[in-house]
Structures are given as structure tokens and as C-alpha cells.
């Protein structure tokens, strides 16, 4: 499968992955499969044991077992003969990362400047956070506002957020439709697989609905995508609201977007535009279901038969996204741009 977002590579970007969970492991898998030829992963840090890190990388319930060879050496994870140093520090700032260009902060805990900045304290040049973060100095979504990333780096900003998986799916789509037909207002629903923030059995939590067993019910909840969209595409700030429904599947989510366009749109014209979009926007005309989109590297894959324009001029489009694999590919792409 071709890479969905082509980047010119200048030199080799040295990346350190902090946090070896769902995104950290997906980043390493994508990289080991050749997704980012301009990246060298020079280290991984996670508080789990080396045995756990190796086992969970080799045997993945979503993507299946690694088809190559995974081994452990003292202080390193070895994937198909490529040795990646492996450490287990709770505080990254105690390490020497002076040779690192970009720390991928994948712990899910980098919401404060103190935590997000630990990679910088260790000597790394920049930090890329794998999700929303109050500590981020800029929020970037490829296909939507990559120019803002270059401006932020030129201004000396060093902590960048890669937004959320849903924002990565939504923002390029909004930019495309807005450029062609304008958007007066709209609403987005993400039909989202369950995640580690939900329990497997009913358990008390601050969000009552999300305290229910994740694999047994559809759970209406909130999404950060609308707030992040306002940051990524300020021209559309306040125009698009959104919510989420968590559903009992382990991978692949969907964006269901309905907008009132400022200029008349037709199904044929919209679908032709989506076919021509390229980059992080893919498309299909086949009657696919969510499991068919597993491990697709695009940020969103538009289901063209789902496009509808009502008599009143309301446009509805629907797209799939692998919320782990596509997002992890974007982490690698953005890391290359950051260097």
C-alpha cells in the first residue's frame, strides 16, 4: 500500500518513544514495516517490564502477531535484527536525550508543562504529544494546518500536539469541503471503538455513562474533536459541534459529518472532490464494514456510497479511520516535519 502523505526527507530524524502503549507500539510496528524511511527510532521508554513490552509488541489482539522476529537483549528490544534501546524510567528528565531530535510523548499523561517538558529537560530538541495537551504550544493536523507547524517551529515552539485521532480524521475533511463549498454550520458524530479509558466491567467513574462495561453497550459521550478543530481551523471556529458514541468494537472508528454548505453541492461533485483529495484522505466505493479498514494508514477513508445531499441543501459524508494505525502513521509523518 502506498504511503498516503509524501514527505521530502532531509537527513535522518532521531525519535525517542516515551510510552509503549497502543500508540507507542503501533508507531514501532509502522516504522519497522517501513512507514517512515526518514526516521530512526533511537529508544523506547516504558515503566512496564521488558518482557511485557516485547510480548505485547509481538502479540497484538488487534493487528495480529508480528510476522518477523522479536527478541530481548540486555537493555534493548530487537525487531527483525534492528536493536532499539529500551529503558524503564518513570521520569524522563533523568535520562540523557541530547542526541534526540523528537520525543514522541505517548504516555497519555502529558497534560501539564512539567510532564510534557521532561523530554526537553533531558536534552531533546522537541516533543510531539500523541493527543490533546494543555501544555502544547501548537496543535497540528496534516492535511489541515501543517503550515501552522512550520510557523510554530520557526517561532521556537518546542512542544507540539498531534491532536486526536478523530481530529486527524475530521479536520482534513472539513478543510476540503469548506474550500469547495463553504460551511455555514454542521455537526459531527464519531462512532468510536472502545478505548483503555473505559472499563471492561461496570466500575465507578466521573463519567457515569463511560463507567459502564465497554464491550456490552453503545455509550454516548463527548469528544475533544470540536474544540481541537477550532484550534486547527480557526476559520471554522464555532461552526461545527460534535459528540461521540463508543461502540463494542476494538478497532476502527467512523466520522459521520453533516453540514449546511454555503454554496450548492451535489453528490457527484462531492465524491469527485473526495476522490481527487489524495494525501491523508482515502476513499472507497465498496460496501465495507469497520474491520475491513483495519491497518489503513490514511487519516480517513471516505465511504463514497454514503454521501447524501438533502433537498434543503444539507450535505452528509461518512468516513472510516483506524484510530490507532492511521494516527500512529501521522505521528511518524509529523516527527519528520518537526526535524
Is 165 a known active-site residue? Answer: yes
148 with 119: CB under 8 angstroms? no
The verdict on pTM exceeding 0.85 is yes
CATH of the domain at 111: 3.40.50.720
172 with 280: CB under 8 angstroms? yes
332 with 39: CB under 8 angstroms? yes
Residue 3 lies in a domain: no
Q: In whole angstroms, what is the distance from residue 67 CA to residue 251 CA?
A: 20
Closest C-alpha among 253, 273, 270, 5 to residue 144: 5
Residue 36 lies in a domain: yes
- What integer pLDDT is reported at residue 11 of this predicted model? 73
Residue 303 lies in a domain: yes
Residues 245, 200, single domain; the answer is yes
Residues 190, 319, single domain; the answer is yes
Q: In whole angstroms, what is the distance from residue 136 CA to residue 232 CA?
A: 13
Which one of 53, 106, 165, 193 is the catalytic residue?
Answer: 165
Q: In whole angstroms, what is the distance from residue 196 CA to residue 203 CA?
A: 13
Residues 311, 200, single domain; the answer is yes
Q: Please list the ranges in the chain whose pLDDT falls under 50.
A: 1-9
- What integer pLDDT is reported at residue 339 of this predicted model? 82
Residues 155, 247, single domain; the answer is no
Residue 8 lies in a domain: no
Name the CA dihedral angle for 284, 290, 291, 297, rounded to a multiple of 10 degrees.
Answer: 60
19 with 44: CB under 8 angstroms? no
Residues 189, 144, single domain; the answer is no
Residues 150, 203, single domain; the answer is no
Q: What is the pLDDT of residues 88-123, one digit of tens each?
A: 999 999 999 999 999 999 999 999 999 999 999 999
Amino acid at each position: 500500500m502506498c504511503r498516503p502523505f509524501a514527505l521530502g526527507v532531509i537527513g535522518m530524524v532521531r525519535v525517542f518513544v516515551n510510552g509503549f502503549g497502543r500508540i507507542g507500539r503501533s508507531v514501532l510496528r509502522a516504522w519497522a514495516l517501513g512507514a517512515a524511511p526518514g526516521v530512526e527510532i533511537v529508544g523506547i521508554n516504558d515503566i512496564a517490564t521488558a518482557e511485557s513490552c516485547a510480548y505485547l509488541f509481538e502479540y497484538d489482539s488487534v493487528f495480529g502477531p508480528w510476522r518477523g522476529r522479536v527478541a530481548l537483549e540486555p537493555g534493548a528490544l530487537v525487531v527483525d535484527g534492528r536493536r532499539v534501546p529500551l529503558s524503564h524510567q518513570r521520569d524522563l528528565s533523568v535520562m540523557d536525550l541530547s542526541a534526540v531530535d523528537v520525543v514522541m510523548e505517548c504516555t497519555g499523561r502529558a497534560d501539564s508543562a512539567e510532564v510534557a517538558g521532561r523530554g526537553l529537560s533531558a536534552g531533546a530538541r522537541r516533543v510531539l504529544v500523541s493527543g490533546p495537551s494543555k501544555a502544547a504550544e501548537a496543535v497540528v493536523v496534516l492535511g489541515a494546518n501543517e503550515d501552522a507547524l512550520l510557523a510554530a517551529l520557526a517561532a521556537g515552539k518546542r512542544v507540539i500536539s498531534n491532536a486526536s485521532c478523530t481530529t486527524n480524521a475530521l479536520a482534513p475533511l472539513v478543510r476540503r469541503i469548506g474550500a469547495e463549498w463553504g460551511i455555514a454550520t454542521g455537526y459531527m458524530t464519531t462512532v468510536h471503538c472502545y478505548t483503555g479509558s473505559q472499563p471492561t466491567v461496570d466500575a465507578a467513574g466521573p463519567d457515569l455513562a463511560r463507567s459502564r462495561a465497554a464491550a456490552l453497550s453503545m455509550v454516548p459521550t463527548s469528544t475533544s474533536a470540536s474544540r481541537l478543530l477550532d484550534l486547527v481551523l480557526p476559520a471554522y471556529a464555532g461552526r461545527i459541534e460534535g459528540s461521540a458514541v463508543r461502540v463494542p468494537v476494538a478497532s476502527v472508528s467512523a466520522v459521520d459529518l453533516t453540514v449546511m454548505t454555503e454554496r450548492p453541492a451535489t453528490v457527484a461533485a462531492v465524491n469527485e472532490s473526495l476522490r481527487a483529495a489524495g494525501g491523508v484522505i482515502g476513499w472507497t466505493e465498496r460496501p465495507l464494514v469497520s474491520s475491513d479498514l483495519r491497518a489503513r494508514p490514511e487519516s480517513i477513508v471516505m465511504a463514497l456510497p454514503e454521501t447524501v445531499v438533502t433537498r434543503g441543501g444539507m450535505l452528509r459524508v461518512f468516513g472510516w479511520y483506524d484510530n490507532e494505525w492511521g494516527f500512529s502513521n501521522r505521528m511518524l509523518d509529523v516527527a519528520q516535519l518537526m526535524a
